[in-house]
Chains A and B, each alone.
Chain A
């Protein structure tokens, strides 16, 4: 329990630091949420309520902003966030096949975005601006271009292998 309380206070220390940096200005709400998400990988509900109180705005406003922008996540994401680009160029070069391959390989679907072991989150994005390399898959900011079904499967098994090795260490 003691340990839990400790992490709890550390959690809010960081939030306060971010709030102070932005002088508790409601105009900076988006920047604040971005920095919080950077820290926690998602926006926990209690923290959003806390931010609302600190900025003197209603929690509804904070939730409203958090749900409006696709960058904000209200649920924790997996260790590897895989984004399949479905921009026009990727789309005409059959990005759907890549998405289906990944869904099958990871056992995920449009509704279930994160795997149970919290290793993978699968998302689609509108355009990553790397159209020259279509179709594109991004794993935690690392861009993989000209993807095929085979390359996709290979990519996943490589990550899994890497994880296995880390586990064994």
Chain B
């Protein structure tokens, strides 16, 4: 055994799959606890431990494939031993921690297979009942099932829950289903077969052609055809080439890449291996933002087990080819999502973008040809090879093929991670999958949203008029938004759009690296102009200046951050001009969110004319008499709020 460890035995994928599946038949049920960041924050680990405890108390047996991350290896070997002796495993249940299942709003999630029962918002106190009823008797605990918001019907089969049913999860298929820390589970589900095919059976040209034919475009925001990027790198002769996986997902409101890296890290590695074969690269790097510690940990672990199985290293799949991957942690700079800035950061410099050309395909990391792809793009690669380019092309629209993941958040009933084909409409996403828009009190109001912000600080807003627009790269660009990395933030009628524009401006202003003057100073000035609008100091000129400046920043900036920084402003100006006008000319915020524009008034019907407010008013702005409702003089009012606090009848309102 030790000798084989030293020579790095090449894993036999078929045998591993067969052994794994054989071992699985010995289990009655498989209990999957979601251990994504969301569910973990809601106490998934204590639920996991409680399961172990209760199962033991009941005298049942549960095999914990992985007890703790560092115990993985022991558990791993035990299982092999058990599988080797074939069918001697008499443990009844398999208790597994998975990556993010996407339905974060409903966490902590517990899924039970083969019944596909999904329990939502599980508490530690629910565990006994689940063990007694579901595990022992096969009954479902109805109160923990997902309840459809309109029909009030409990859904037993997770695949029938609208949130999942309306999605097309092909890239995310294994995310949240498999045990993240067990490479065997990934292999048993078809993992690494495509990497092996790429290494042993395909030429570099063939791989590039297949990906080009699939129509796959970069999922990080740019939308550049991945196959062409690879082909450009392939034709450059060099002794060293690099594959970089861009996991610097900085867009506020986006977490797709985090879920993939945490939930199915091996798929990212497999995509990188295939990319390496396509361009003859020997070194791979995954650049992960430092805010994602769990992703870093799981990727490192995945790399380690891939190396142990001869999937990465000096002699991958026994081909004599060399490819290895290391994880690099970012240090918190949004601009490093831009590829040239990311390269600078890996080289140890300030992460500032440089001029293109030369493109990374010619001169990238340390001056060598480099492919930089986003996490989601790379995780899609094995799926494409498995489906075949022709089949993959069938999904999506004319110009955008395949599926895209979106992080659905904001004022929506079901927040979480979704995957849909390109061409899906907002009505389907927000209404069907998202389960409708929520107002500030949490009431569901169907698809009555005000705007959906898509593409983060580089993107724009979609309004109700776009409800039936098929979402793809080009349609979105035409309406002034962009796919971006895929953050989809739903906003209800009570959201002030100028504040949203300001929010993104503040973000880009903070994150501007400072290299280009128009971006560094321009974003600052745009922010100041937005502040003037929000604080009621703006006039007609402010809007003109804002538009002019937006154009300047767009033209004069070097990288994507600056070029797209004005988008949120331009897009809100286009679709919510009235709201801007109300702020600028009427000094009024239609949603009543802007503190400085709020006015106080007294509702005559509620006023009992007690005079208490007038007494409390420090500037004598309130007048009235006995029996006559009091009135606030807006000219005199200093908006201190004393009257609201004084009134016992809730007659004073602000807005």
- Does B348 contact A27, Cβ atoms closer than 8 Å? yes
Contact assessment for A87 and B349 in the assembled complex, using a CB-CB cutoff below 8 Å: no
- Neighbour of B407 across the interface among A70, A131, A142, CB < 8 A: A131
Q: Are the CB atoms of A69 and B351 closer together than 8 Å? A: yes
Q: Enumerate chain A residues within 8 angstroms of B98, measured Cβ to Cβ.
A: none
Residue of A nearest to B258 (CB): A129
Q: A34-B329, A68-B513, A131-B409 are in contact. List 12 more A-B contacts (CB 8 A).
A: A70-B331, A71-B290, A86-B252, A88-B504, A89-B410, A92-B489, A93-B411, A126-B511, A127-B253, A129-B37, A129-B255, A132-B105
**Nearest residue, chain A, Cβ from B251:** A127
A132 touches B453 (CB 8 A): no
For B, the interface residue count at a CB cutoff of 8 angstroms equals 54
By a beta-carbon cutoff of 8 Å, the part of chain B in contact with chain A is 37-38, 40-42, 104-105, 107, 249-255, 258, 290-293, 328-334, 345-351, 407, 409-411, 415-417, 453, 456, 487, 489, 491, 495, 500, 503-504, 507, 510-511, 513
A15 at the interface (CB under 8 A from B): no
Interface string of A76-103 (1 = CB under 8 A from B): 0000000000111101110000000000
Please state if B38 and A89 are interface contacts (CB–CB under 8 Å).
no
- Cβ-defined contact, A88 with B331, below 8 A: no
Which of these, B291, B345, B491, contacts A125 with CB under 8 Å?
A: B291
Contact status of A127 and B345, CB under 8 A, knowing A69-B333, A88-B409, A92-B411 = no
- Binary flags per residue of A42-70, CB closer than 8 Å to B gives 1, else 0: 00000000000000000000001100111
Determine if A74 is an interface residue (Cβ-Cβ < 8 Å). Answer: no
Identify the closest chain B residue to A64 (Cβ). B350
> Chain B contacts of A133 at CB under 8 A?
38, 41-42, 104, 107
Residue of A64, A86, A91, A145 touching B38 (CB-CB under 8 A):
A145
Which B residues lie within 8 Å of A131 (CB)?
104, 253-255, 407, 409, 415, 487, 489
A122-154 residues with Cβ-Cβ distance < 8 A to B are: 125-134, 136, 141-145
State whether A91 and B503 are in contact (beta carbons under 8 Å apart), knowing that A30-B348, A134-B409 are contacts in the complex: yes
Cross-chain pair count, CB within 8 angstroms:
132
Q: Is A118 an interface residue, CB under 8 A from the partner?
A: no
Q: For A26, A31, A127, A131, which residue has the most chain B Cβ atoms within 10 angstroms? A: A131
Shortest A1–chain B CB gap in Å is 36
Known: A88-B409, A129-B255, A145-B42. A65 touches B489 (CB 8 A): no
A sample of 10 cross-chain residue pairs with beta-carbon separation below 8 angstroms, ordered by A number, consists of: A34-B290, A65-B350, A92-B411, A126-B507, A126-B510, A127-B252, A129-B37, A129-B258, A132-B415, A143-B40
User: B37 contacts A130, CB within 8 Å?
Assistant: yes
The complex places the Cα of A12 from the Cα of B98 at a distance, in Å, of 41
Chain A residues with Cβ below 8 Å from B350 are 64-65, 68
